[in-house]
Amino acid sequence: MVQVRNKKLDIIVGIPTYNEADSISNTVQKIDRGLSRYFPEHKALIVNIDSQSSDGTSRVFDEIKTETDKMSLVVKKQPRGKGANIFSLIKLGKKLGAKYIATIDADITTITEEWPKLLLNPLIKEGADFVTPVYTRNRYEGNTTNHFCFPLLYAWFGCKINQPIGGDFALSDRFSKYILEQQKPKDAFLYGVDIFLSIHAVGGNFKTREVYLGRKIHKPSFPKIIPMFQQVAATMLFVLPKYKNKISDLHVETKDGQRIDDFIRKPEAARIAFLKKHAFQNLQQLPKKNIQEYLGLSSQKITEIKKAKSLIYEKDWVDMLAEASRYIYNHAISDKVATDIALTIAPFFFLRVLAYFNDLEKTKDQNDIDELIFGQADKLQHIFASQNVGIDLGEKKIYPYSQYSSLQIKQKGGRKLMSSHYAVTLSAIPGIPLIKDGDDLPAIVLKCAGQAAIHFENGDVLVVTSKIVSKAEGRIVPLASVQPSEKAREIAGKSGKDARVVELMMQESQILNVEPGVVETLHRLGFICTSGGVDRANTAKPEEEKVSLLPVNPDESAGRISDAIAHATGKRVGVVINDSLGIRYRAGSVGLAIGVAAMPAILKGTEDEVDLYGKKRNVNISFADEIAAAGSLLMGQSRAGLPVILIRGLRYPNEHGKLADLIVTDQLKNDLAK
C-alpha cells in the first residue's frame, strides 16, 4: 500500500479489478492526467481495489508513475467481487474524509482524461449526489441494461436512466454515507453493485445527473452474461420494493444521447449457441409453480415455449416483467426470494436477448435500435398504468402506443397529414463574433446557441464556414511575410494574380492550369479548385493585406466541434465545414464540403433502388456537399456575418464520414495522367 501524503482528501477515484494487468495502466494514466489537469487544487487519490488477482494487477498498478497519490487495496474477505470492492472504496472514502468518490472500470480502452472531469464536476459544481454515464456501446452489449434494468427503472420511477449498471459512477459523501447504511443482499457484493447504487440514488431522492462520456469499448461482457444477469436481477428485485410510489419526489436529470455505437462486435456463434442451449436446459428444470407465480405464465404457455423451443419477443417479455413487478410489489421480498425470481426469469431473459439479436440483423440504423429499447420500456410502463400493477406513477400521463409514432404535421387546408420528414429547416446561429487566432470555436458555438435558446437534437447538422475555422486555427497569413519564387512570379504574370498569393497557392496545391484571371489547382486535401483555397475575403481589413488558407485537417476540425456538442449535450450532431469553391466551366462559386464529422459524407445507393417508373437506379448522393451548398445559401458571400448554420429535419444513418469519401481518387489520378 502506498503511503498517502494527505490524510484528509477531496477526491478519491477507485478502480475495481480482478485480473486486469493488461489494461489497468492505460486507465490509471488517463485518470491521473485528468485529475492533474482539471482538479489541481483538490487533494486527490487513485485507489486500486483488487480481488486478489492472479495476474499481478496490483503489482502493475504499484509500478505506474503518477502525479496523483496512489493506494493499492486488496479485498480478501468473502464474498469477493466488484461490489465488495466498491463498498470497500466507499468505506475508505469515509475514513479519509473524501467529499467526492468516482469509480471507473479498468478494462475500458476508450477512456480519456476528460472522464474524471465529466464524472466529478456535477458533484463539485452542481451539488449532485450521484452521477451516471451515458455512452455509445457495441449494439450486442448492454443486454442486462436494455432488457431488464432500463425498462424496470423507467416503469417504477418514470425516469430513463440510460446506463444504470454502466460501472463508471461518481458519489457525494452524503450519498456514500447513505449507501453504507443500506441492507445489502449477497449479490450486491458481486455484479449487483451498480444497480444497487442506481436504485438507491433514484429511490432515495438523491440529486442524480447523467453525463455523456462518449464511446465505451471494453472487454466483451457477453461471456459473463449468465452470472452477471442473475446477480444484477436478484439485487434489483430485492431493492426495488424498498421504494414505492416515488415518482413525485424524483431529483433526476437525464440526457437523451445516442447509445448505439457504429463499432460492431457480435458474440461468437459458439457462445450464442451455448447460451441458447443453457436457457432451454434451465427452462426444463424450472418448477412450473415458480414460473406461474412469479411471471404469470399459464401452464399452456409454459408447455408451448418448452416444446417449440421458441425465443422470447417483446410482447411476452414485457408481460413477464410486469408480472414480476406485481409480485415483488405485493410480497415481502427476502434475499432468497429475490434470487429465486432471478433464477426463474433468467432463461426467459436469455431467450429474449437472442430474439433481440435477430432484430438487430434486420435493423441497421442506430436510432432505430434505440427505438427498439425505448419502445419496449414504454410498453412496460403502459402495462403498469393500464392494468393497475400497483406502482404509483403520480400524475404522469401514459399514452397509447400509436402516439409514439413519427411526428405528423397537418398540411395547409387540413385535408392531409404530412410527415415531418418532408420538411428541412435552416437556421443561423446568431451572435457569432469575429473569430481570432486561438479562439475556442466549439465553445463559442455552444455559447451562442445557448444564448439564442437553441437546443441541439440528435440528427441535427451544423454547417460551419471554413473561414472561421481557419482564423481560430491560425491559418491567416500576412502577405508581407511571403517571398514569391521565380515560378510564382511567372504564373502571376500569366494569370494576373498577386505573386505572393500564387506562392501560397503553390505551397498548398499543385498547379494544374493557368489562364488569364484563373489558376486551377489540385489542393493538398485532394480536390480541384481555383486559387488553391487561398482567399482574401472576410479575412482582414484591406490595408492589412492578409489571406486565409484552408484548415490543415478539416475533418479533425469538424470532429472537435461535434465532440464538444456531444460532451456538453449528449446529442449526436453532424458537422460539415464548407468553403466556396470555383468549379471550372461553371459561372460563380458554390459551397462544397471540405470537412465532415459524425455523419456520412456519401449516401450510397442500393441495388434495389428504382425510379418513379420502376427502372433500377443505383446512385450515390454527395450528401455532405448538398448540405454544404444549402448552408451557403444562408451564409451569403459578403457581409451577412452568419458563419454557422443549423440544419434540422434530415434523416441519415449514424456513420462517420470524411472528406476522402467525396473524392474519386483513382479517376482523378487517371485524368491527371492524361
**pLDDT tens-digit map of 307-338:** 888 899 999 999 999 999 999 988 999 999 99
**pLDDT tens-digit map of 475-488:** 999 999 999 999 99
What is the helix, strand, coil percentage profile of the chain, to 5? 45, 15, 40
| CATH code of domain 476-549 | 3.90.1660.10
Comparing 385 with 646, the larger pLDDT belongs to 646
What is the C-alpha to C-alpha distance for residues 65 and 58, in angstroms, rounded to an integer?
14
Residue 673: pLDDT band (50, 70, 90) is low
pLDDT at 316 (0 to 100): 93
Q: List the Cα angle 85/239/280 in 5-degree steps.
A: 90
Mean pLDDT (whole number) for 208-225 = 84
Specify whether the CB–CB gap between 592 and 628 falls below 8 A: yes
For 355-386, b/e burial (b = at least 16 CB within 10 A) is: bbbeebeebeebbebbebbbebbbbbbbbbee
Mean pLDDT (whole number) for 421-427 = 75
Comparing 35 with 216, the larger pLDDT belongs to 35
Comparing 103 with 76, the larger pLDDT belongs to 103
Q: DSSP secondary structure string, 92-160?
A: HHHHTT-SEEEE--TT-SS--THHHHHHHHHHHHH--SEEEEEEEB-TTS-HHIIIIIHHHHHHHHS--
C-alpha cell at 609: 433502388
Owner of C-alpha cell 456531444? 566
Residue 660: pLDDT band (50, 70, 90) is very high
276, burial (CB in 10 Å: exposed 0-12, middle 13-18, buried 19+):
middle
Mean pLDDT (whole number) for 266-288 = 92
Mean pLDDT (whole number) for 596-611 = 84
**pLDDT tens-digit map of 30-84:** 999 999 999 999 999 999 999 999 999 999 999 999 999 999 999 988 888 999 9
For 444-457, b/e burial (b = at least 16 CB within 10 A) is: bbbebbeeeebebe
**pLDDT tens-digit map of 481-509:** 999 999 999 999 999 999 999 999 999 99
| CATH code of domain 1-126 | 3.90.550.10
pLDDT at 412 (0 to 100): 32
Phi/psi at 257 (nearest 5 deg)?
A: -130, 160
The whole-angstrom distance between residue 153's C-alpha and the CA centroid of its chain comes to 20
Distances from the Cα of 182 to the Cαs of 87, 179, 239, 242, 388, in angstroms? 11, 5, 10, 10, 29
Is omega for the bond preceding 133 within 30 degrees of 0, making it cis? no
What is the C-alpha to C-alpha distance for residues 216 and 166, in angstroms, rounded to an integer?
10
**pLDDT tens-digit map of 400-410:** 322 222 222 23
Element (H, E) at 201: helix 193-203
Domain ranges in the chain? 1-126, 136-162+174-207+219-259+267-405, 424-474+551-674, 476-549
pLDDT at 505 (0 to 100): 95
pLDDT at 385 (0 to 100): 62
pLDDT at 490 (0 to 100): 96
**pLDDT tens-digit map of 544-579:** 899 999 999 999 999 999 999 988 877 889 999 999
pLDDT at 338 (0 to 100): 97
DSSP state of 164: T
What is the C-alpha to C-alpha distance for residues 634 and 639, in angstroms, rounded to an integer?
12
pLDDT at 669 (0 to 100): 59
270, burial (CB in 10 Å: exposed 0-12, middle 13-18, buried 19+):
exposed
Comparing 553 with 306, the larger pLDDT belongs to 553
Spatial CA neighbour of 1 closest among 67, 75, 55: 75
Spatial CA neighbour of 170 closest among 222, 133, 219, 216: 133
Q: Which of 3.30.1330.100, 3.10.20.340, 3.40.50.720, 3.40.50.2300 is the CATH number of 424-474+551-674?
A: 3.30.1330.100
What is the C-alpha to C-alpha distance for residues 245 and 243, in angstroms, rounded to an integer?
7
Mean pLDDT (whole number) for 328-352 = 95
Residue 258: pLDDT band (50, 70, 90) is low
DSSP state of 422: G
pLDDT at 207 (0 to 100): 94
Residue 128: pLDDT band (50, 70, 90) is very high
Mean pLDDT (whole number) for 600-613 = 80
Answer yes or no: is pLDDT of 249 > 60: no
Answer yes or no: is pLDDT of 417 > 60: no
Answer yes or no: is pLDDT of 652 > 70: yes
pLDDT at 247 (0 to 100): 54
Q: Strand (E) positions, 348-450?
A: 408-410, 417-419, 425-428
Mean pLDDT (whole number) for 251-271 = 70
Q: List the Cα angle 132/138/139 in 5-degree steps.
A: 100
335-362 vs 366-386: helix axis angle to the nearest 10? 140
pLDDT at 355 (0 to 100): 94
pLDDT at 263 (0 to 100): 64
Q: How confident is the prediction for the chain on average, in pLDDT? A: 86
Comparing 73 with 1, the larger pLDDT belongs to 73
